[in-house]
Structure 1
Amino acid sequence: MSFLEVDMHNHILPGIDDGSQSVGDSIDLIKGLSGLGFQKFICTPHIMDGVHPNNKSSINRAFTELTKALTESESKVKIFSAAEHMIDEGMVSLIAKDNLCVMPGGYVLIEMSYLAESKALFQTILDIQNLGYKPILAHPERYNYYHYNFNMYRQIKDAGCLLQLNLLSVSRYYGTEVKVAALTMLKSGMYDFVGTDCHHQKHLAALQDVVAKYPMRDLLRTCNILNPTLLNHLNEDASIATG
């Protein structure tokens, strides 16, 4: 997967959400993902009202802790911090205060509940754009309520929102319907970014299996994948997102 150069969606910051629970876990996940070819990671912990109430300060603390451990281990891996923002009331407040955790390049990663579509999706896309940022919808193929309304994906794209594929979605890891949706969107050239969305060792093992079994470079040829362009924006001296 070295051709992607950057994993721009993962949960490898320690002790901050439902991903890595310790620095040791984070180092192990990074070693495994590095074995797949990734050397740069934009870490995107959840910001989710009432579940993962993260903010720039909590994310920066975890980022600093992991950066220190990587430096001490003389790792060549580079990490940067941002977040995966759930579209909820908390995000409304972050937008109002222009306090989003922004990726290098001015991208903002957003997600919705898997249970029900957010009625605020298109307004949120517009609000992010009005702040001068570029929204990316995480793993659209996993929103089951769109599987029988493929036109919604086109409407989201037409609204100027970029789309990010989870690598595991091309397998049956999340189910057959998610795989079908992902492959259909790939064939239609709809994806802009790819991420591992790696949370834990089970994900890592599944990712290793997918990379071994699926011709990912060929599957992605139909899309203009922007992961490598993120390198132009990455500041290796600091976390741009948390400042």
Structure 2
Amino acid sequence: MTFFTNLFLKKKKSTSVRSLTQLDFLEVDMHNHLLPGIDDGSKSVQQSLGYIKELHNLGFKKFICTPHIMEGVHPNTKFSIEQAHRALSDGLKESGSEVEIFAAAEHMIDDGLHTLIQNNDLCLLPGGYVLIEMSYLSESKALFQTILNIQKLGYKPILAHPERYNYYHSNFDIYKQIKDAGCFLQLNLLSLSRYYGVDVKAIAMTLLKSGMYDFVGTDLHHDKHLHQLKDIVEKYPVREMLKTCTILNPTLLDHINASKGQHTIAG
């Protein structure tokens, strides 16, 4: 059996190998919903502090928080995101934690994003990256135009969790087209297990084998996600699984250091 075939087998890993599957090599969790009370993620500062402590214990050193901006559902703005970011930052200081967090957003491809692009008012990750997503129900016909429009502003688009768009599962070539268009791809760590289903895991494994992922994020929203992430760290050789891809999470540290003192979500 091949290495990747073995990844599908449900074998209980010994806790003695846990140190080999820690997430410290990623350095930065660049996709999560840790900012409190502004989307379907953490509900309070206290809950966020608990999540950050647990994720820090798994190896993450810094966090780029990416709440949804989704027209009619999570109509966040730079102001609402900055307010939540400040509240959580204050909570971290009061708790004595030295963990650093930064604010960006996960932009749904919708009419609201079109307006943000027109006004050059996007919430950027350090390094000029823009995290975008689509509906899980239907493909956005504006994907490639959105990629191009973001690039015209001088920014670099990242498509969140491409393995979760079921309508692409029967057309693997679309992932190559997205990459060829200059869009980066971000893996959800939860997709390494069967958390989202067997089909999502299968596509994630294929994208991994093809070396197509650029970034990795937890996409943590709630307790169930956290418990599953801890389970993945115990059972899966995450570092080995990602060696087929050039994962850029650690490079974000340079951009973070360069951006200190600047407005964290300004375009």
Q: State TM-score, norm by structure 2.
A: 0.90
Q: How far did residue 203 of structure 1 move?
A: 0.4
8 Å contact 2:109–2:143 — kept in the other structure? Answer: yes
Q: How far did residue 32 of structure 1 move?
A: 1.0
| Alignment match of 2:129 (pick from 83, 102, 107) | 107
Against the structure 1 CA distance between its residues 238 and 76, is the aligned structure 2 distance closer, same or farther, given a 3 Å change threshold?
Answer: farther
The answer to whether the aligner puts 1:89 opposite 2:111 as a matched pair is yes
The answer to whether the aligner puts 1:240 opposite 2:243 as a matched pair is no
Q: How far did residue 239 of structure 1 move?
A: 4.5
Alignment partners' CA distance in 2, 1:238 and 1:198: 26
8 Å contact 2:29–2:218 — kept in the other structure? Answer: yes
Alignment partners' CA distance in 1, 2:92 and 2:115: 33
Alignment partners' CA distance in 2, 1:63 and 1:166: 22
Compare CA radii of gyration and give the structure with the larger one. Answer: 2
8 Å contact 2:37–2:84 — kept in the other structure? Answer: yes
Q: How does 1:9-28 map to 2 (within 5 A)?
A: 9-28=31-50
Match of 1:173 in 2: 195
Match of 1:36 in 2: 58
| Alignment match of 2:71 (pick from 49, 58, 68) | 49
Match of 2:181 in 1: 159
Q: How far did residue 240 of structure 1 move?
A: 2.1
Structure 2 unaligned blocks of 5 or more? 1-22
Q: How far did residue 236 of structure 1 move?
A: 4.0
State the aligned residue count: 243
Match of 1:76 in 2: 98
SS at match of 2:24: coil
Match of 2:250 in 1: 228
The answer to whether the aligner puts 1:5 opposite 2:27 as a matched pair is yes
The answer to whether the aligner puts 1:206 opposite 2:228 as a matched pair is yes
The answer to whether the aligner puts 1:64 opposite 2:64 as a matched pair is no
8 Å contact 1:108–1:135 — kept in the other structure? Answer: yes
Q: How far did residue 72 of structure 1 move?
A: 1.1
- Between the aligned residues of both structures, percent identity stands at 69
RMSD (Å) for aligned C-alpha atoms: 0.9
**Range that drifts further, 103-112 or 71-80:** 71-80
- Amino acid of the structure 2 residue aligned with 1:241: I
Match of 1:217 in 2: 239
SS at match of 1:145: helix
Q: How far did residue 106 of structure 1 move?
A: 0.3
Alignment partners' CA distance in 1, 2:166 and 2:99: 35
Q: Deviations over 1:182-226 (max 9, x none)?
A: 000000000000000000111000000011100000000000000
Against the structure 1 CA distance between its residues 196 and 79, is the aligned structure 2 distance closer, same or farther, given a 3 Å change threshold?
Answer: same
